[in-house]
């Protein structure tokens, strides 16, 4: 197991085409301040950056004139958002590099562009027959700043703000934007999986339905890739065995018989025979994964449930293969990989204490 404490926007110290599976969940757009160091994203690496912050007046009248949902670039070194300083997040006037936190960009378009930057490294290190699982959720537009008191506790910092969007309360459609951009960049989208969070946190909303799912996109680099469906089969329902007995006792299967409301063909009868004999080990789990979130005492906002990662790793890798999580956070992906006898690599900019704690837990597991 290796953990590299660095930004994903720096070159990854990983050999090209060495990783069999990438399983990750990056910071969601416009959600929260993760209290990690700001980084410089994009632009010209040789540029002598001169950063200018953005004046975010979201749906309110700004100091320069009428109310607007657009960015207003200022020539000052610090710009207030609703009377609060936003720190040093902004664009370079020379090369348009962004200095700030990934996920707190001023526009959805910039977030997608930045996602494509680290996805290039993901493409480089992933084997041609490998798989890339991307867990990502959506968020809503807002006329409020995180610097406002009602959002300060959620953000954890006055330097976090809600970015601009034309419609308040409108979903950004970030998962869809990212998926389309990755497909346009060359990735093949094989599945759009719905992670149905059976114990999703309740929301105090009264003008829409509460959110109970997130997306997991399954990407590949080419048409042919390693995929082990047998490793993640689900048990058949008990009713399947009853229908199987009825089908196997049917007469003239080549003509088709109506069994329990269904037409039983010769092919279906053979399938039921295999079911009853035990040749079939389970059924395809489908693209809706009903997996509860995992509670933890760790101070981490978005921990992967181990069951979710386990399914990703089992279907995409073999023993001793390398699994990578470029946003490894507290290290759940690395732990599950090791439990399944896979090698693991993590990249993350923050949560050093959590990583050290998780590493010690994993090491105890190994030596036990």
Q: Is residue 215 part of a domain?
A: no
Distance of alpha carbon 215 from alpha carbon 74, whole angstroms: 37
Q: Is residue 75 part of a domain?
A: yes
Q: What end-to-end distance do the CA atoms of the chain give, in Å?
A: 16
Least confident of 14-28, 41-55, 252-266, 344-358: 252-266
**Are 265 and 253 a contacting pair, CB within 8 Å?**
yes
Query: For 21-64, what is each residue's pLDDT tens digit?
Result: 999 999 998 777 776 778 899 999 899 888 876 543 333 223 23
The residue whose two tokens read 């700043």 is 145
Residues 152, 259, single domain; the answer is no
Q: Is residue 310 part of a domain?
A: no
**Are 165 and 108 a contacting pair, CB within 8 Å?**
yes
Distance of alpha carbon 314 from alpha carbon 304, whole angstroms: 15
Phi-psi category of residue 282: left, alpha or beta, with phi > 0 → left and psi -120 to 50 → alpha: left
Q: Is residue 169 part of a domain?
A: no
User: What value does the mean pLDDT take over residues 126-149?
Assistant: 76
Distance of alpha carbon 40 from alpha carbon 89, whole angstroms: 9
Residues 150, 61, single domain; the answer is yes
Distance of CA 237 to the CA centre of its chain: 30
* pLDDT of res. 357: 56
In the predicted structure, residue 248 carries a pLDDT above the cut 80: no
Residue 46: which residues within 8 A CB-CB, separation 6 or more? none
Q: Write down which residue in 158, 179, 196 finishes a domain.
A: 158
- DSSP-assigned states of every residue in 55-73: E--BSSB-TTSSBBSS-EE
Q: Is residue 213 part of a domain?
A: no
Strand partners, 191: 218
Q: Is residue 1 part of a domain?
A: no
Here the tokens at position 246 are: 């009825």
Least confident of 59-73, 216-230, 270-284, 297-311: 59-73
In the predicted structure, residue 273 carries a pLDDT above the cut 60: yes
According to DSSP, residue 345 is labeled E
Distance of alpha carbon 158 from alpha carbon 33, whole angstroms: 9
According to DSSP, residue 22 is labeled E
Here the tokens at position 180 are: 């389309």
Domain holding 268, by residue range, is: 235-277
* pLDDT of res. 322: 98
Q: Write down which residue in 249, 277, 305 finishes a domain.
A: 277
Strand partners, 126: 19
User: What value does the mean pLDDT take over residues 180-188?
Assistant: 98
Residues 262, 150, single domain; the answer is no
Phi-psi category of residue 354: left, alpha or beta, with phi > 0 → left and psi -120 to 50 → alpha: alpha
Residues 43, 153, single domain; the answer is yes
Residues 154, 60, single domain; the answer is yes
Dihedral of CA atoms 265, 271, 274, 278 in degrees, nearest 10, equals -140
Q: Is residue 140 part of a domain?
A: no
Distance of alpha carbon 207 from alpha carbon 42, whole angstroms: 38
Query: For 234-246, what is each residue's pLDDT tens digit?
Result: 887 766 655 555 5
The HSE-up count of residue 5 (CA atoms within 13 Å, CB side) is: 10
* pLDDT of res. 300: 47
Domain count, the chain: 2
Least confident of 10-24, 64-78, 117-131, 350-364: 64-78
Residues 61, 150, single domain; the answer is yes
Q: What is the pTM of this model?
A: 0.78
Q: Is residue 212 part of a domain?
A: no
Highest mean pLDDT out of 10-24, 194-208, 242-256, 343-357: 10-24
Count Cβ atoms below 10 Å from residue 269 Cβ, excluding itself.
Answer: 19
């Amino acid at each position: 197991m290796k953990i590299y404490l660095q930004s994903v926007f720096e070159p990854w110290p990983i050999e090209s085409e060495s990783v069999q599976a990438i399983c990750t969940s990056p910071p969601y757009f416009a959600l929260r301040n993760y209290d990690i160091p700001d980084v410089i994203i994009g632009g010209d690496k040789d540029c002598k950056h001169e950063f200018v912050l953005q004046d975010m007046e979201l749906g309110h009248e700004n100091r320069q004139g009428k109310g607007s949902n657009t960015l207003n670039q200022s020539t000052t070194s610090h710009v207030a958002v609703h009377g609060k300083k936003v720190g040093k997040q902004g664009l370079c006037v020379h090369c348009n590099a962004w200095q700030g936190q990934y996920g707190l960009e001023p526009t959805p378009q910039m977030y997608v562009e930045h996602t494509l930057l680290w996805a290039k490294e993901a493409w480089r290190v992933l084997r041609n027959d490998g798989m890339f699982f991307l867990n990502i959720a959506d968020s809503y537009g807002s006329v409020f700043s995180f610097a406002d008191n009602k959002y300060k506790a959620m953000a954890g910092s006055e330097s976090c703000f809600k970015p601009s969007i034309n419609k308040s309360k409108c979903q950004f459609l970030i998962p869809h934007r990212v998926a389309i951009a990755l497909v346009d960049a060359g990735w093949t989208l094989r599945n759009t999986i719905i992670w149905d969070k059976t114990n999703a946190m309740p929301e105090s909303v009264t003008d829409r339905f509460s959110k109970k799912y997130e997306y997991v996109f399954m990407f590949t680099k080419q048409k042919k890739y390693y995929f082990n469906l047998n490793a993640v089969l689900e048990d058949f329902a008990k009713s399947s065995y009853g229908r199987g007995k009825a089908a196997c006792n049917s007469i003239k299967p080549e003509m088709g018989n109506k069994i329990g409301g269904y037409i039983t063909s010769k092919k279906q009868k053979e399938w039921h025979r295999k079911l009853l004999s035990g040749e079939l080990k389970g059924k395809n789990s489908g693209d809706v994964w009903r997996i509860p979130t995992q509670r933890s005492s760790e101070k981490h906002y978005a921990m992967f449930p181990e069951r979710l990662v386990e399914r990703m790793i089992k279907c995409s890798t073999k023993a001793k293969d390398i699994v990578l999580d470029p946003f490894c956070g507290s290290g759940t992906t690395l732990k599950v990989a090791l439990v399944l006898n896979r090698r693991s690599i993590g990249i993350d900019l923050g949560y050093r204490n959590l990583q050290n704690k998780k590493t010690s837990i994993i090491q105890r597991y190994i030596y036990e």
